[in-house]
């Protein structure tokens, strides 16, 4: 028996086999859950089809517009009925906003980062709770750049701070729906998202060196934590940010 037997979980943001969201997908399936994936566009759908079985439901959802999330979740409910959880693994910032100083950014690029990285979680909760069973859970992915001034993370760090704040307020507001909301602050892993950060190799190297055993965290370890937070075993964890970085944040 698994932690998520007979549970249906929406995962937003699986990009490839090295993504944190893919680690979450594997862990959820290993714990008996059924996954439903959302993807941004046809190009991402073709990529998903290369490594995700056709038996997995895939639904288009470009989170740049909240109405797309509403439509996608309605489509999911029509096909599989009520769901039990959501994994939100979506973030975006213009490359120039990562390479340059925060003061070099524009209002448009700042707003785009906030919209994709933060408001998409709020919209997913808004429309997701309507199709979610009681005792459901929402998990999003963040990074300690929300609390520390990480080199070249810049506007994304500001967005992650907003994301973690949104987790706390959503956890309060969805409590009457018996839905928990939490975040995982994952260590630096070589994913497609991290490669957009200038000198990302140095970032990963330093992060790995600061773990308690000198070995970096894996997508499997992050996925296992997500599966736990989605399960009834985590019923007492609400509105929190859980570090899954093998102690990098301790030093």
Provide the annotated active-site residues: 143, 153
Angle at 147 between CA 11 and CA 142, to 5 degrees: 5
* Residue ranges of the binding site for NAD(+): 13, 40, 62-63, 90, 160, 189-193
Q: How many CB atoms lie within 10 A of CB 43?
A: 9
Q: Helix, strand, coil: what percent of the chain each, to 5?
A: 50, 20, 30
Three-state secondary-structure class, residue 38? strand
* Residue ranges of the binding site: 13, 40, 62-63, 90, 93, 160, 189-193
* Residue ranges of the binding site for substrate: 93
Torsion of CA 109, 16, 136, 244, to 10 degrees: -80
Q: Where are the beta strands (DSSP E) in 5-99?
A: 8-12, 34-39, 57-60, 83-88
């Amino acid at each position: 028996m698994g932690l998520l037997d007979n549970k249906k979980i929406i995962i937003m943001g699986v990009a490839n086999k090295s993504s944190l969201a893919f680690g979450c997908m594997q862990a959820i399936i290993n714990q008996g859950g059924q996954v439903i994936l959302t993807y941004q566009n046809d190009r991402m759908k073709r990529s998903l089809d290369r490594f995700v079985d056709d038996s997995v439901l895939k639904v288009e959802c470009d989170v740049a517009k909240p109405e797309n999330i509403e439509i996608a979740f309605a489509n999911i409910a029509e096909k599989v009925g009520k769901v039990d959880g959501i994994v939100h693994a979506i973030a975006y910032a213009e490359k120039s906003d990562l390479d340059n100083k925060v003061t070099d950014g524009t209002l448009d690029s700042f707003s785009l980062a906030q919209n994709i990285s933060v408001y998409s979680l709020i919209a997913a909760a808004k429309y997701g709770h309507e199709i979610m069973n009681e005792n459901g859970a929402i998990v999003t992915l963040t990074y300690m750049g929300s609390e520390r001034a990480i080199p070249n993370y810049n506007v994304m760090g500001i967005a992650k701070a907003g994301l973690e704040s949104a987790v706390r307020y959503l956890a309060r507001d969805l409590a009457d729906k018996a839905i928990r909301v939490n975040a995982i602050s994952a260590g630096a892993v070589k994913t497609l998202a991290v490669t957009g950060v200038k000198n990302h190799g140095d970032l990963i190297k330093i992060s790995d060196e600061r773990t308690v055993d000198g070995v970096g965290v894996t997508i499997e370890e992050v996925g296992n934590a997500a599966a736990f937070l989605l399960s009834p075993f985590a019923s007492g964890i609400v509105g929190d940010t859980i570090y899954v970085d093998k102690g990098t944040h301790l030093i």
